[in-house]
Structure 1
């Protein structure tokens, strides 16, 4: 029953109609999930406190985001409700990491994403007027129950890559092939360029890791890494050199569908609240119009998670988040033990980092992205701490063995020797 309720909670955080906005429906759902998380965490306060203590920067960042309501430039009630939502999905993330192993957390996320992909397809088939974009913008493109083609694309991307990894694991291959094909269909029909590019990049990363793990020779591994880096470098040079031509072939521009113009338009807003931001959710609450190069943009985000963090919680919060990202990436290890679970976690984390460059997937979006971020940061730190402890124990045992061996040799030398009669 606990697992079912957990998946229901993750589904609620993955559907805009259940977690976005401040409607009575969203607040009621948030309160129910917060109550569930509280009841589950209450008997396990010691593990919770230990988790928070082991992740001081993340703990301080969450407290800082919640406290930003004190200087938020919007109506106080709305600000407090925004903080309530943030506390709800952050608490739910803490419940996940204290009650489930890394493998359990990833498994629950994959189950949730798989259910979402089925629901998105059913919505398109059964209620096309609701699940397919109409009107002037994005006409005919699929959005499912995700509310927007780009959101459908990112969730389908995560489901696609996770089932690709589990396919290579070698169990229930037919099931994983089915979900790979289903999410490939969703990715094609939503036509999210960012999602398609990220899918290709992450799929290449998966193949790189799986091939790298099969190479036993140190020399071959070095050649494989250097060749891969060279190919990536050549690809980047080619993209920068012929970016305009490549983009025009796909009906795009190097403004990233107007994103660079939006970023120019919000530069002044960032500068006026440089260090501490406008408070969580405050700037976009009134849906301000942004003007850049004579064009008006009516927005709910800047289409950049890192810039939205800067607007919401200032450079202070942004630097804390970037520090968490960098330290987590350095601590990542995809070893032989449970390799597929950690490979899935690595792909999810890379997606969060890369997608937040051109889309907002930290706080100003579905809560599921922040939950994934929190879960992986904590689980990587947990594994890193255990690895350091194991190395310390192994070093101590080796040191003790060397010391004992030296002592024994010294004792043997000092033993009196009597002449043989």
Structure 2
């Protein structure tokens, strides 16, 4: 009898280990490779719909747990309730229905993952995901350069790996770089292993030629530096810690003034201009179109699959599929109502991440805050959030669900 119990526990442990190491990173990789997009081949559509159905069945079979996960994220429930109205008032209802199926599928997948993982376990999953993704990118770039390196006239020579575009490649490499840097900085795990992947992802960021990725990694490292200094002095003198915080804020403000006064010189050095490589013209056009459907937008995916897309593409000589701003695209797709809800979800997530940060300096507790900072910066001049199928949206949702669960388990905001 004792043997059976032990054997049963071993099976549960092995099953969960397999889920951590193989299954979940594989799911994340599916959403990282553009060739597997919902809008692709019949096989791709079947693969994605099958995936959504499996996770939906699991969520349905564990209805109580699913309801509990959503009960801690009422703002996200509001966003889901917005979807039917989004379809009804959509510019192209057929497109919006297809995109909405993908959106709901991603939400269900995220709920199930968060339901089965603690924040510490999620950190382990991310470690495997960034490890596998980094190695896949390296293999494709070295062995199949025609696939892993842009060959077109616009981005020619920039690395893109298996991700398909230099900006996505660069920003995902930022997440990998920061993840392993935190592990290295906190002296967790094998030092050589972490240093190896910090180096690889650092090279990826440089070779992607993504200025957005470079700015984000600088911002995240600055945030880590500030947090380390603040925590160090907080142990000895809280007033000194606050003084240092104010001092660093003044320094950042001065740097901002210097950058603004020398903006043209800095942008030219980065190969950019004040139009941000045509982005300001896209923004102006997007704002003009937003005024036409201010509250509820054009429906998810509706605007960039409409005649308006051809108008702006012809104007700037590029085949655009987004406004190059995640927040603008949310406004175009879901209107002001959707944008406000998403911003509130991010702010609520940041509040919960701050609470978790106060508990310990362990690496997995710093990740949510870093990821929310990343999400905000990344979506100012690029659209890498809720845009068709998106690994960024999956990572965001799982983080939101898990930290809500962690906060609830720790007794709310008491600590």
Q: What whole-Å deviation, never above 9, does each CA across 1:305-358 have from its counterpart, x for those lacking one?
A: 100001101111011111112222233221243631121221111111111111
**Contact (CA 8 Å) 1:349, 1:376: kept in 2 or not?**
no
Aligned ranges for residues 135-154 of structure 1 at < 5 Å? 135-154=152-171
Equivalent-residue separation in structure 1 for 2:45 and 2:313 (angstroms): 35
Identify the match of residue 17 of structure 1 among 15, 19, 35.
35
1:315 and 2:315 are equivalent in the alignment: no
The aligned residue for residue 174 of structure 2 is 157
Give TM-score, length-normalised by structure 1.
0.87
Aligned ranges for residues 217-366 of structure 1 at < 5 Å? 217-286=237-306, 288-291=309-312, 295-333=316-354, 334-337=357-360, 339-364=362-387, 366=389
Aligned ranges for residues 15-164 of structure 1 at < 5 Å? 15-19=33-37, 21-65=39-83, 67-74=85-92, 76=94, 78-164=95-181
Equivalent-residue separation in structure 1 for 2:38 and 2:126 (angstroms): 19
More displaced stretch, 382-391 vs 122-131: 382-391
Compute the displacement of 1:116 (Å). 1.0
Over the aligned positions, Cα root-mean-square deviation in angstroms equals 2.1
Equivalent-residue separation in structure 1 for 2:219 and 2:43 (angstroms): 38
**Contact (CA 8 Å) 1:289, 1:296: kept in 2 or not?**
no
Equivalent-residue separation in structure 1 for 2:412 and 2:150 (angstroms): 53
Question: Are residues 241 and 108 of structure 1, via their aligned partners in 2, closer, same or farther at CA, if it must alter by over 3 Å?
Answer: same
Compute the displacement of 1:31 (Å). 1.5
Compare relative contact order (CA 8 Å, sep 6+) and give the higher one, 1 or 2.
Answer: 2
Q: What whole-Å deviation, never above 9, does each CA across 1:129-153 have from its counterpart, x for those lacking one?
A: 1111112111111111111110100
Bigger radius of gyration among the two: 1
The aligned residue for residue 399 of structure 2 is 376
1:188 and 2:240 are equivalent in the alignment: no
Matched residue pairs, number? 391
More displaced stretch, 174-183 vs 62-71: 62-71
More displaced stretch, 174-183 vs 238-247: 238-247
**Which ranges in structure 1 are unaligned for 5 or more consecutive residues?**
393-421
Question: Are residues 352 and 30 of structure 1, via their aligned partners in 2, closer, same or farther at CA, if it must alter by over 3 Å?
Answer: same
Give TM-score, length-normalised by structure 2.
0.88
Q: What whole-Å deviation, never above 9, does each CA across 1:180-219 have from its counterpart, x for those lacking one?
A: 0000111111110010011011011112212322221213
